Chain A
Amino acid sequence: MSEVILRPNGSIDIMVEAEVINPDILAGKTTSEIEQLIVWQGAKQLPLSEFFDVEGSAGSTAADTKIIVKGDVPRVKHIGHGMKAGEIVIEGSAGMHVGSEMIGGSILVKGNAGSWAGMEMKGGTLHITGNAGDHVGCAYRGSWRGMNGGKILIDGNARSQLGGGMSGGEIHVGGSVENFAGIRMNNGLIVVKGDAIRGVGAQMSGGLFVVSGKIRQLSPGFEYAGTEKNPKVGETVISGEFMKFAGDYAISKTPKGILYASANE
């Protein structure tokens, strides 16, 4: 696999929109062609080399291309937006919209990610080793068509509206989430190892949501459906004792959403 190394070469003032950092776009390009790719900064269009020193060259196909961003880029948005194949590794934190609308391939963020990570994702893997912002794997504002495929792994915490409008795929959060995780989800799987504040699965009509920690305030439209030990979630068994709820009855008369909440917390 050919590697392209992007080294941030200074501090960034207005955020940069860099959806060109994508193996599909870099594939087949030389170092200098990559340097000349255009990114937006506010109302200006500038070459990628304005913000990154480029080393190495891309493979002939996306699948054969690995992009390594050496360092923190919290003010660079849309990295890997819509990518279909290949690999991106960010050795630091990423800005907003990392991996949004991604279709395939993998992104590894060795740090934190801004809001909208994996927004409306359709496939591939997005792994964030730190914390993530709001709207991870969520639908865009105004829409209820969230992530429908692929996998998002967050080792740390995520904020609000994780997996909003989700209709497929999986999200695993090692830490805790805040408000309205899984709002309007109708399919797919969300597992939160830590706690949630409130609104978990609000308006959900399908799908599976597991909270291993504590839910501070359960949504009122869920009905208790018994207690289960070590429930099986897809292929994996989640260890512990869980209260099972069905919902959200606040919206639908026949919701198919299932929410497991730890029986011990």
Chain B
Amino acid sequence: MSTIITSAPALAPASKEPGQGGGVDYLNHETSIASWLLTLDHKRIGILYLVAMSAMFVLGGFYAGLIRAELITPKGDLMSSDFYNKSFTAHGVIMVFFVLIPLVPASLGNFMLPLMIGAKDVAFPRLNLISWYVYMIGAGFTLVALIGGGVDTGWTFYTPLSTTYLNSNVLLTATGLFILGFSSILTGLNFIVTIHRMRCPGMDWFRMPLFVWALYATSVIQLLGTPVIAITLALVGVERLLGVGIFDPRLGGDPILYQHLFWFYSHPAVYIMILPPLGVTNELISTFSRKPIFGYSMMAGASLAIAIFSFIVWAHHMFTSGLSPYAAMFFSLLTFSVAIPSGIKVFTWLATLFRGSISFDSPMLYAYGFIGLFTIGGMTGLFLSTLGTDIHFHDTYFVVAHFHYVMVGGAIVGFMGGLHFIWPKMFGRMYPEFLARMSAILIFVGFNLTFFPQFLVGYLGMPRRYHEYPNEFQVLNVFSTAGATVLGVGYLLPLLYLPWSVFFGEKAGRNPWGATTLDWTHTESPPTPHNFEETPVVTGEPYKYDTLFNKESALAGH
């Protein structure tokens, strides 16, 4: 195999001119608003999702800011306890359902999946667009409920809070989430069929980039888990409207059943959030250390193993809910076992980095941050899956810190890395590298400053979801709020320089990172409307680096 950079254009003569200076690409071949809103192009749909989710992220972040501002002082002086409850519910619902769950699959996944497997589009382009509209309709319902009246149950909607003691906005929110669920199901269905049926000739299962494996595992969870939460929310609505005691013990129902059904989806949902960023990180680590991923098949298998394990550990959220001790022991043990595939991933990354020509480009800075934060998040999960310690930590800030390390430190940081990696492919432009590195560092520092103190304050016993707290917790809370401010600045920078770069950034060229997957070697930046003018035929492994590609690797002496 010759060098990618010289071979790729030679092999793809038909696609030499477009995209490079005035050619036809998917962004400029049609530019009307209607052409965006009615597009069936997976790349444009990915960007529609990106825009919508960025807006939701800003809104969810705004509520996070309110919470942190309230918690600077021990007294509840900024807002009423009721408004505080509504704020953390809004923060949780928006961030979990409208940002984290669709974040990587719907934006980066939509954009990259067909490019990575040599397809012209996903299997069902129209369904893909429909799922974006379903997302927007679900978001509309939910936002009206959250902003209009507010919901105070927390994002978990536990019964009887959501049935017996509720204000009616819970039903509107549940309707929104019910609708939203179909967006997730349709995306998962589309991706599974795409991966099974749309791979180009020669693209065996074990020649697929690892991001594709991660998307596959995620889609399986979306397909199997989401219908259960949909029917659960419908049951909450029915209990409320018809007065049937499905979850209300006074009417013969069982509130624990709600928790079982809720977590049967919502624990796997954690892996819907984290698996795709894990997959993106593979691409980053491999590309920026110029080495194939150590143990490709182990990594692919670990993604599937996590997807399977995710369905049999849900009751670890219910150790204090009156679960039988034998069931609790069983679920504790199963939960520990999730650490095995997660550990495999971390160690294969370390082994990949070892003796690689590693670089410090901004996407890779995010990837380094991701490894560290995901590891801390995962390890503290073990404290919570241990029965004895969970009794102490349950519903404290320790839990809050743990899942923010996984969801923000893991999922969001991984997403940011993936976004900075894919950006030149998306828009054909480079962003200001210095600002990007600044933002990666600010996010890492700000994040740790925000959430590490929460481990401590949780260990000391501060419960979550209260807007007042004893004086002795104030120092740690002030640290946390200060960190959140730094974190906010870190997120603000990309919101400014990324859109700027679309118009004023330096031209990227087809493969600025020297990556070796089809999306970089065989499509323009930005790609042409149908991605590949000629169907590629794959004959080898996904990660095979030309060590002469750039000066860093040349200097490393390979």
Q: Do A and B bind each other?
A: no
Residues in A lying within 8 Å of B, measured CB to CB:
none
